[in-house]
Amino acid sequence: MDHWWINGKPGSLIEVTDRGFAYGDGLFETVAVRGGRPRFLAHHLDRLFDGCRRLRIPAPAREPLQTAVTTAVSDLPHGTLKLMVTRGTGPRGYQLPEFPATTVLWGTMASDPVRSVPVEIRWCDTMTSVNPATAGLKTLGRLDQVLARAEWSRTDVAEGLMTTTDGHLIGGTASNVFLVSGDHLQTPSVARAGIAGVMRRVVIDAARSAGIPVAVGDVPPFQVQAASEIFVTNALTGIRPVHRLGSQVWAPGPVTRRLQKALAAAGVTECGG
Amino acid sequence: MDHWWINGKPGSLIEVTDRGFAYGDGLFETVAVRGGRPRFLAHHLDRLFDGCRRLRIPAPAREPLQTAVTTAVSDLPHGTLKLMVTRGTGPRGYQLPEFPATTVLWGTMASDPVRSVPVEIRWCDTMTSVNPATAGLKTLGRLDQVLARAEWSRTDVAEGLMTTTDGHLIGGTASNVFLVSGDHLQTPSVARAGIAGVMRRVVIDAARSAGIPVAVGDVPPFQVQAASEIFVTNALTGIRPVHRLGSQVWAPGPVTRRLQKALAAAGVTECGG
């Protein structure tokens, strides 16, 4: 059973005039809850508050929010915390409300533990929009990803890779992607499109700590073929090695294994051996 | 006072798990109500149902919806009907719900009549995302336009022109744009970005009926400078001639005047002389 709180009060109904609903004018975070604790909450709040600043949404106070959501999940052994912030209700029209009152809401959902096993992925035809104004942020407008995810229904295909409308590899519908090329790790920049995933940040930090160089930049889609290892990351599933994409197969590789171990040590239990 | 109906029942609260709120997974229409009648409702429904088909949202039955919203506005002398369709509630995640139940809602808002006088406009720095998957549709994800509209607060600037992330003129934050170049009318294609505005369609039809050639295609931003006339269109305001953009000024021109007269005759009273 899911539980929701809106502006600190239990409830799951919002006004249709809330700009989050009307215009996708808001942000969200999907936080893994493990052992009654919100994992990497500081990273999630960093991204959320950075988003508020960039979108000029008056941010809630960080400390009380952190305390409230931590309390909300304390009885949840394993599941997900969804945290959302919108620009609140307002009159019709794109213009910012004169007196904005941010809506803050969160929900908790139980789930079963899963192991991050190697997965099959595919390419999507639907492309990710490019826009520096919102790039990196987890805004409420996710229709590109919804349409990409709707391209397949085979349950043995775990994820679909997307390119941007200007032709770069950007990531999965709900994940970031990493390639191992030679002795270094490569992942698409999220400066012009895509989402700056929390697990992406954890992986980049772990790789650099382990002395593995990480190149962040534009990645042409054809580089996937040349990669010796490939994996996708997501806050809820950690690192998932890719074992198949179309006719290409990969065996679990040493760099992926090493990073999985580093993540398992940092609390990403689904990456444990 | 606004009035809202959700799935045919009075109310203004939706579930936070509605995919319209969670992912911008839906569409809307903003319909001018004049003399208790929804203006160009058939055009609005055409776009809405085309959107449902393209987004694979199970569409409501058209005739009952048409009847219901027509009845809802019958007591409203002058105002706006906002009509929204979402993919309904669903479990967390981008994947389409197994048993989707479309949410249909509408609201009515009174407003005062306005005349479509010449306006000053400006350029926006925020760009419009390019994506053929959603181009032309009025989806619930409108953050590009929200951020563009937030670039100015001067009340004497009526609209801001946007370019696409690949460098074409696309339109205003909440309007389509037309240029008069030589003896023909020119307006940006909405095949890769932007919205296929209802008033845009009305203007294109009126121009062609009047023997004015209309070129629909990619428009480089610099063509604005060379235009002999320029106007913006929106379902609620008809044709608004542009009299100033930066240091450039235009006098009301003959093509704009002719089209305004044609629209006034078609019921766009705000374009009347």
Average pLDDT estimate for B108-130: 95
Decide: A174 and A234 in contact? Cβ < 8 Å. yes
Most B CBs within 10 A among A146, A154, A236, A237, hence the mutation to make, goes to A146
Distance CA B119, CA B124 (A): 16
Would you tell me which residues 77-116 of chain B have a C-beta closer than 8 angstroms to some C-beta of chain A? 80, 82, 84, 87, 92-96, 105, 107, 109
Q: What's residue B8's pLDDT?
A: 95
pLDDT, residue A137, reads 98
Cβ atoms of residues B243 and B251 within 8 Å: yes
Q: What is the dihedral of CA B164, B243, B255, B41, to 10 degrees?
A: 60
pLDDT value at residue B273 = 67
| Residue of A28, A89, A94 to mutate, testing the B interface (most B Cβ within 10 Å of its Cβ) | A94
Per-residue pLDDT, averaged over B151-175, amounts to: 97
- The span from the CA of B26 to the CA of A23, in Å, is 10
* Backbone phi and psi for residue B156, each to the nearest 5 degrees, phi listed first: -85, 0
- The enclosing H or E element of A257 equals helix A254-265
Contacts of B165 in chain A (CB under 8 A): 129-132, 165-166
Complex prediction ipTM: 0.97
CA–CA distance, B140 with A125 (Å, rounded to integer): 22
B60 vs B45: CA distance, rounded Å: 11
- pLDDT confidence tier of residue B272, bands split at 50, 70 and 90: confident
Distances in whole angstroms, Cα of residue A26 to Cα of each of A244, B7, B25: 35, 25, 14
Calculate how close chain B gets to A12, using CA atoms only, in Å.
6
Task: Say whether B146 and A25 touch across the interface (CB within 8 A).
Answer: yes
Euclidean distance between CA atoms B88 and A236, whole angstroms: 24
Token digits of residue B162: 């946007």
What is the average per-residue pLDDT within A61-84? 98
Task: Report the percentage of chain B scoring pLDDT > 90.
Answer: 95
Measured CA to CA, the distance from residue A94 to residue A182 in angstroms comes to 48
Verify whether the Cβ–Cβ distance B145 to A94 is below 8 Å. Answer: yes
- The b-or-e profile of B161-172 (16+ CB within 10 A means b, else e) is bbbbbbebbbbb
Alpha-carbon distance values, A197 to A148, B97, B137 (Å): 18, 24, 28
Query: Do the beta carbons of residue A231 and residue A117 sit within 8 Å?
Result: no
Q: Which of A101, A103, A58 is nearest to A83 (CA)?
A: A103
The pLDDT score that the predictor gives to residue B183 is: 85
> What DSSP state is assigned to residue B269?
G
Residue A1 pLDDT > 80: no
Tokens representing A32 are 């893994």
Please report, to the nearest 10 degrees, the dihedral formed by the alpha carbons of residues B35, B36, B39, B45 taken in order: 180
With bands split at pLDDT 50, 70 and 90, how would you rate the model's confidence at B1?
A: low
Average pLDDT, chain B: 96
Q: Which tokens sit at B166?
A: 């690949």
pTM for the model: 0.97
CA pair distance B116, A186, nearest whole angstrom: 54
pLDDT, tens only, B22-57: 999 999 999 999 999 999 999 999 999 999 999 999
pLDDT in tens, A87-121: 999 888 999 999 999 999 999 999 999 888 999 99
Task: Specify whether the CB–CB gap between A148 and A111 falls below 8 A.
Answer: no
Cβ burial of B68 (10 Å; 0-12, 13-18, 19+) is: middle
**Are the C-beta atoms of residues B83 and B16 closer than 8 Å to each other?**
no
Let me know: does B206 contact B214? Beta carbons within 8 Å: no
Do A6 and B16 count as a contact with CB atoms less than 8 A apart? yes
What whole-number distance in Å separates Cα of residue B14 and Cα of residue B21? 9
Q: What is the pLDDT of residue A218?
A: 97
Give B19's contacts (C-beta < 8 A, 6+ positions apart): A146, B25, B26, B86, B87, B88, B89, B90, B97
User: Which residues have CB under 8 Å from A181's CB, separation 6+?
Assistant: A223, A226, A227, A228
CA dihedral of residues B123, B124, B125, B126 (deg, nearest 10): -150
Q: Are A121 and A160 in contact (CB under 8 A)?
A: yes
Q: Report yes or no: B238 and B116 within 8 Å, Cβ to Cβ.
A: yes
For residue B56, how many other CB atoms are within 10 A of its CB? Answer: 13
pLDDT level of residue A273 (50, 70, 90 thresholds):
low
